[in-house]
């Protein structure tokens, strides 16, 4: 699930800062805008020539206005070329900076430093140099009281820290930009910054705070009538719920995002909303609905004519198939998306597309591919090599602290204040005192918070005792069963007609790994079953009980689900593959499991007084336990009843026919894999 969440993180999180827009390309424009870009470049180049002719004609009478205008045009040319050719963009930015210095044009100097700094970071991997230039630009813009420029510089710096996973510094700069925007009263800028702050929280593993800021952004965008932005905000709120495995809420927000996008008359925006909906369905394991939504995403993106938008939708569809292991089906989507990304220069799309194309070609072991595919693969490999080279170059020029942050990323020692940039290697003692004071303040706050927590606990103790039974039962059973049980005290059991039960047997752990120290044994069991429960929740399945080596769970209660058997088998396949890979990596330090699945009716309810338990009973449960005795290691074993439910969805192999007490003959099958029915 972590892998899926990470993948979804890559798909969903798109910050609104300038440098991330520069890295991805202008994905909100249409095909007509691409031709307008070409016309704009021609217009700017002609304007530049006219200014040069005008200056020559004026001779000594030429004013500084001509040169300052020329510097601005050079700056605009830098922007126009940024995604097409970063080298040309850098050339124009350096010309603009040089000219601005010659004539003392401070605003032009600030723009030049900012533009060169962003290219240093996002196109050359020179993070330290880029930050220094962006800080110089910020200082000049502050001196000029250029609030728009200050917001832009702070946003640029925040984005750089985001790029290197220094989320604390990123937040500090985004919040500083937000304060300036609030003073200006620029609602759209405020909404954009709320979105950026939310992105940082989400990427740093804080979905609740991210959701709070996405909601704030949505509210402001709604007030100013920016429907497309509202749709995007709804999609990101959905992702925060996916991140926490809260799929019902995620699905509702994803659907709302599509509904709002339909009113915006922007086909690219609608395509992105459908993409988010498809990704949500995918995370839920509802692949039929996922494919429908992803097809709509591609259809609307293509209708927009925006090459970046089409590339994004196509790559996303390809990664969906890649995630399912359908590499042949993924290849055409990845190839199409990556080709378009190379054409437009959308850096993030190129990065993800290259990674997928290399992986797919490796998995398929393609040798007799077309010249077109060979050339695309060559470009992808070269791109990755350049990325790695830039990464090593940037790391070589930066000093890393020996300690790591709480999120596991290394703390990077870089100039974090404009005074540091100016004074070079001088020690900033005021900064050290500030840190020490801040740490002391944290200790005081923690002590006060602890005291208040004890007080609140004492005040609420009686309430807790009165509701002890309700809270205990809520902790062990589903909300729907809890509500029904509360309404009728005489209700001790509830019957469910169509449920799939799975028993996961890890008995072999006690024989093949008996020499493993007890602590290592328990730790390994805990790690494995934690992951197993995570994979189960992905498909809406909850644990019922465990006894010794047997782990019991089900699908189809307390909420009836027509896909109960399919959900269990999808989860079982992922669990089998996870354990197989773990076994290959750890050998005797882990264990093997077998799974036994049956479908049918059962009864569920609560038993016990002090130590409550929610459990299931019935013939279908007993049957699953009986086939468990077949002991087929590392296999997914199903009954003929289950086979009847899933034979059109999964590839199965006949195993054996066994004698079951009081039941007679029973056919057993192995589940091999899912039929790639979604590939068409």
Where residue 593 falls among pLDDT bands split at 50, 70, 90? confident
Please list the helix, strand and coil fractions of the chain in percent, rounded to the nearest 5, in that order: 70, 10, 20
Residue 328 pLDDT exceeds 60: yes
- Across the range 39-48, mean pLDDT stands at 86
Provide the 10 A C-beta neighbour count for residue 107. Answer: 17
Tell me if 152 is assigned to some domain: yes
pLDDT of residue 23: 36
Our CA dihedral for 540, 541, 543, 549, rounded to 10 degrees, sits at -140
pLDDT for 425 beyond 50? no
The answer for residues whose C-beta is within 8 angstroms of residue 550's C-beta and 6 or more apart is 503, 504, 505, 628
- Residue 572 falls inside a structural domain: yes
Contacts 24+ apart (CB under 8 A), 98-105: 99/67, 99/70, 99/71, 99/74, 100/68, 100/71, 102/67, 103/64, 103/67, 103/68, 103/71, 105/64, 105/67, 105/68, 105/71
Question: What pLDDT is recorded for position 595?
Answer: 84
CATH code: domain of residue 68: 1.25.40.10
**Between 419 and 348, whose confidence is greater?**
348
Range with the poorest average pLDDT among 202-216, 421-435, 489-503: 421-435
**pLDDT(13) > 70:** no
The CATH number linked to 642 is: 3.30.70.1230
**Mean predicted lDDT score pLDDT of the chain:** 75
Average pLDDT over residues 433-442: 62
pLDDT of 42 higher than 50: yes
Residue 333 lies in a domain: no
Host domain of residue 142: 18-25+33-184
Selected residue with higher pLDDT from 368 and 657: 657
Q: What is the mean pLDDT of residues 515-543?
A: 76
Q: Which helix (H) or strand (E) holds 227?
A: helix 227-243
pLDDT of the residue at 52: 86
Measure the CA–CA gap between 89 and 601, rounded to whole angstroms.
Answer: 68
In DSSP terms, 652 is beta-bridged to 671
Cα-Cα-Cα-Cα dihedral of 410, 411, 415, 419, to 10°?
Answer: 180
- Has residue 129 been placed in a domain? yes
Q: Which helix (H) or strand (E) holds 163?
A: helix 147-163
**Per-residue pLDDT tens digits for 265-297:** 899 999 999 999 999 999 999 999 999 999 999
- Strands 594-607 vs 613-617: parallel, antiparallel or unpaired: antiparallel
Position 32 scores a pLDDT of: 42
Domain boundary among 146, 168, 184: 184
Q: pLDDT, tens digit, for every residue of 146-159? A: 999 999 999 999 99
Name which of 212, 221, 203 is nearest 163 in CA terms: 203
**Which pLDDT score, from 0 to 100, does residue 514 have?**
59
Q: Are 329 and 674 in contact (CB under 8 A)?
A: no
What pLDDT was estimated at residue 145? 92
Q: How many domains does the chain have?
A: 2
The span from the CA of 116 to the CA of 636, in Å, is 58
More confident residue, 278 or 64: 278
Residue-level pLDDT at 15: 32
**Bond prior to 263 in cis (omega within 30° of 0):** no
Q: CB under 8 Å to 380, separation ≥6 — which residues?
A: 338, 353, 354, 357, 358
Is 498 or 580 the better-scoring residue by pLDDT? 580
**pLDDT at residue 139 above 60?**
yes
* Domain boundary, last residue among 142, 162, 184: 184
Distance, in Å, from the CA atom of 409 to the CA atom of 413, rounded to the nearest integer, reads: 13
At 391 the three-state DSSP class reads helix
* Domain end position, chosen among 184, 204, 233: 184
Q: With bands split at pLDDT 50, 70 and 90, how would you rate the model's confidence at 503?
A: confident
SS3 446: helix
594-607 vs 636-639, strand pairing mode: parallel
38 belongs to a structural domain: yes
Which pLDDT score is estimated for 22?
Answer: 37
> In this structure, is residue 200 part of a structural domain?
no
pLDDT at 343 over 50: yes
In DSSP terms, 667 is beta-bridged to 657
For position 302, what pLDDT does the model report? 93
Is residue 64's pLDDT more than 70?
A: yes
Residue 298, domain member (yes or no): no
Q: What is the pLDDT of residue 275?
A: 95
Please tell me the least confidently modeled range out of 94-103, 472-481, 567-576, 645-654.
Answer: 472-481
């Amino acid at each position: 699930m972590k892998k899926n969440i990470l993948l979804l993180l890559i798909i969903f999180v798109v910050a609104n800062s300038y440098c991330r827009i520069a890295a991805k390309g202008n994905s909100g424009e249409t095909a007509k805008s691409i031709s307008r870009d070409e016309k704009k470049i021609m217009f700017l180049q002609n304007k530049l020539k006219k200014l040069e002719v005008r200056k020559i004609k004026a001779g000594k009478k030429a004013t500084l206005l001509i040169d300052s205008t020329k510097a601005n045009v050079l700056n605009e040319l830098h922007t126009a070329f940024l995604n097409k050719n970063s080298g040309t963009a850098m050339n124009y930015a350096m010309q603009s900076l040089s000219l601005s210095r010659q004539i003392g044009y401070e605003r032009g100097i600030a723009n030049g430093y900012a533009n060169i700094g962003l290219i240093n970071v996002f196109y050359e991997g020179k993070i330290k140099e880029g930050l220094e230039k962006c800080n110089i630009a910020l200082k000049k813009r502050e001196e000029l009281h250029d609030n728009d420029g200050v917001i832009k510089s702070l946003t640029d710096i925040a984005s750089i820290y985001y790029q290197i996973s220094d989320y604390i510094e990123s937040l500090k700069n985004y919040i500083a930009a937000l304060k300036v925007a609030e003073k200006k009263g620029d609602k759209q800028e405020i909404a954009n910054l709320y979105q950026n702050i939310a992105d940082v929280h989400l990427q740093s593993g804080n979905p609740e705070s991210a959701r709070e800021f996405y909601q704030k952004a949505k509210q402001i965008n709604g007030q100013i009538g920016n429907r497309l932005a509202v749709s995007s905000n709804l999609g990101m709120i959905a992702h925060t719920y996916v991140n926490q495995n809260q799929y019902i809420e995620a699905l509702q927000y994803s659907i709302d995002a599509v509904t709002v996008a339909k009113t915006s008359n922007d086909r690219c925006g609608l395509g992105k909303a459908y993409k988010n909906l498809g990704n949500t369905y995918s995370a839920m394991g509802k692949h039929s609905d996922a494919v429908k939504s992803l097809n709509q995403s591609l259809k609307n993106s293509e209708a927009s004519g925006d090459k970046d938008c089409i590339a994004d939708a196509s790559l996303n569809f390809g990664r969906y198939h890649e995630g399912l292991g359908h590499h042949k089906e993924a290849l055409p989507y990845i190839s199409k998306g990556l080709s378009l990304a190379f054409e437009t220069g959308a850096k993030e799309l190129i990065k993800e597309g290259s990674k997928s194309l290399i992986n797919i070609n490796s998995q398929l072991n393609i040798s007799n591919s077309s010249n077109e595919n060979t050339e695309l693969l060559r470009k992808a490999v070269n791109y990755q090599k350049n990325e790695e080279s830039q990464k090593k170059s940037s790391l070589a020029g930066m000093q890393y602290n020996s300690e790591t942050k709480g999120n596991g990323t290394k703390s990077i020692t870089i100039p974090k204040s404009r005074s540091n940039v100016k004074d070079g290697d001088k020690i900033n003692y005021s900064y050290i005192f500030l840190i020490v004071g801040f740490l002391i303040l944290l200790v005081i706050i923690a002590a006060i918070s602890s005291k208040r927590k004890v007080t609140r606990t004492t005040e609420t103790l009686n309430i807790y005792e009165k509701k002890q039974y309700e809270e205990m039962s809520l902790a062990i059973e589903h909300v729907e069963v809890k509500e029904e049980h509360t309404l009728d005290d005489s209700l001790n059991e509830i019957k469910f007609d169509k449920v799939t039960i799975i028993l996961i047997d890890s008995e072999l752990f006690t024989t093949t790994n008996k020499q493993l120290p007890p602590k290592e044994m328990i730790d390994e069991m805990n790690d494995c079953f934690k992951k197993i429960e995570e994979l189960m929740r992905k498909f809406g399945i909850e644990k019922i009980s465990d006894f010794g080596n047997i782990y019991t769970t089900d699908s189809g209660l307390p909420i009836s689900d027509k896909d109960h058997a399919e959900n269990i088998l999808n989860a079982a396949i992922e669990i089998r593959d996870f354990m197989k890979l773990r076994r290959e990596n750890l050998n005797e330090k882990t264990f093997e499991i077998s799974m036994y699945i049956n479908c049918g009716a059962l009864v569920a309810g609560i038993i016990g007084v002090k130590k409550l338990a929610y459990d299931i009973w019935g013939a279908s449960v007993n049957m699953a336990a009986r086939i468990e005795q077949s002991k087929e290691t590392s296999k997914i074993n199903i009954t003929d009843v289950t086979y009847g439910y899933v034979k059109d969805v999964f590839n199965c192999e006949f195993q054996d026919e066994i004698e079951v007490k009081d039941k007679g003959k029973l056919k057993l099958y192995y589940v091999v894999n899912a039929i790639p029915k979604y590939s068409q």
